[in-house]
Amino acid sequence: MAARDTAVLRFLAAPTDAGRTGTVDGGRVLEWIDKAAYACAVGWSRSYCVTAYVGNIHFDRPVSVGDMVEVAATIVYTGRTSMHIRVEVASADPREPGVTLKDTCLIIMVAVDQDGRPTPVPQWAPETEYERRQWTVTQRRIELRSTIEKLMAEQKYTDEGTAEETVLRFLAAPTDINWGGKVHGGTAMRWIDEAAYVCGAKWAGRPVIAVYAGGVRFYRPMHIGHLVEIRARLIHTAARGLHISVNVWSGDPATGQLELTTNCLMVMVALDDEGRALPAKQWHPVSQEDKDLDAFAQELVRLRAEFPDSYRKIDPSISLLPES
């Protein structure tokens, strides 16, 4: 039996998981990651858990339809009520032995009681040298994450912006429900990926794929039947990457009052007809708001470069991650 600090999901990638490019898109992978982290967190805390933060998701290799998929979630650090969970996504043709690592990230889950208030969790202690390294890295990144969250909260998105922007609006349906009666965190991340795709594809004039998602911060739950508004805006272009900021708002359609529920940054890359990454169509900031957001995106790149991501085991030479 697997240890309580680990959960592994195994399943076949179905035809319904296929995205716009024929392989499984980032939004579906984000759903899988969230489910595995939830299973791991509940197994450790023995209580209901909610997604608080998702960071540094690198989509390095695509998952193909028909692949055997393994999503492994392991606790690497615990706070008083939170669990920091490393998630790996691996897959391969089921006719072949073994699987290949495709994506990695860190998710923070928070245990809550029956009234929805954070509740203490059992403390996790590293035992092996590898676990101690992961614990240390996670602890060091707490301050970095706080800095990034503060920067993201300070940004303004008004009509003064001139960059490409996409707005999606719809009602949260009963099929979007999670185990606690709210919208599933993984579902919200799939919506974010869809909005970023539309924004990126409109700007590039071609299909795009997600190569990175970071700083996914969940501020409050979304309720079934509420109006959901997702705004995705291009804020920076690198050599190949389109940096897109996504903000999710929701609220009762009867009042029309929407509150910020989630925000994050996505990096998308345009593809040619053979599925190869193309140089990004360059965007140049015009208004002061454009310039502020462009500087913000570059500051995020700089901050993350100061903390090498030891969660990753994939050779960066094969990555589609854009240069800053």
Read off the pLDDT of residues 204-262 as tens digits, 9 standing for 90 and up.
999 999 999 988 999 999 999 999 999 999 999 999 999 999 999 999 999 989 999 99
Torsion angle of the four alpha carbons 283, 289, 292, 298, in this order, in degrees rounded to the nearest 10: -30
**pLDDT mean over 153-160:** 94
d(CA 270, CA 279): 8
Bigger pLDDT: 32 or 96?
A: 32
Check: CB of residue 234 under 8 Å from CB of residue 214: no
Check: CB of residue 237 under 8 Å from CB of residue 180: no
**pLDDT mean over 73-78:** 96
Q: How many CA atoms lie within 13 A of 186 on its CB side?
A: 17
The CATH H-level superfamily of 6-125 is: Hotdog Thioesterase (3.10.129.10)
Nearest to 27 by CA among 243, 177, 193, 175: 193
CATH code assigned to 165-307: 3.10.129.10
Nearest to 298 by CA among 280, 265, 324, 263: 324
Question: Where do the domains of the chain lie?
Answer: 6-125, 165-307
Q: What residues pair up with 182 in beta bridges, in sequence order?
A: 223
d(CA 29, CA 300): 23
pLDDT score at 324: 33
d(CA 263, CA 260): 8
Read off the pLDDT of residues 162-199 as tens digits, 9 standing for 90 and up.
999 999 999 999 988 887 788 989 999 999 999 999 99
pLDDT score at 318: 30
Instruction: Give me the DSSP letters along 175-216.
Output: GGB-TTSBB-HHHHHHHHHHHHHHHHHHHHTS-EEEEEEEEE
Read off the pLDDT of residues 273-285 as tens digits, 9 standing for 90 and up.
888 899 999 999 9
What is the residue-averaged pLDDT of the chain?
A: 90
Task: Report residue 89 as tokens.
Answer: 């996504």
pLDDT score at 315: 34
Bigger pLDDT: 312 or 305?
A: 305
Q: pLDDT at residue 14 above 90?
A: yes
This prediction has a pTM of 0.89
Nearest to 215 by CA among 246, 237, 185: 246
d(CA 50, CA 83): 10
Q: Would you give the DSSP letter of residue 156?
A: -
Q: How many CA atoms lie within 13 A of 72 on its CB side?
A: 14
Q: Do 6-125 and 165-307 share a fold? A: yes
Bigger pLDDT: 210 or 1?
A: 210
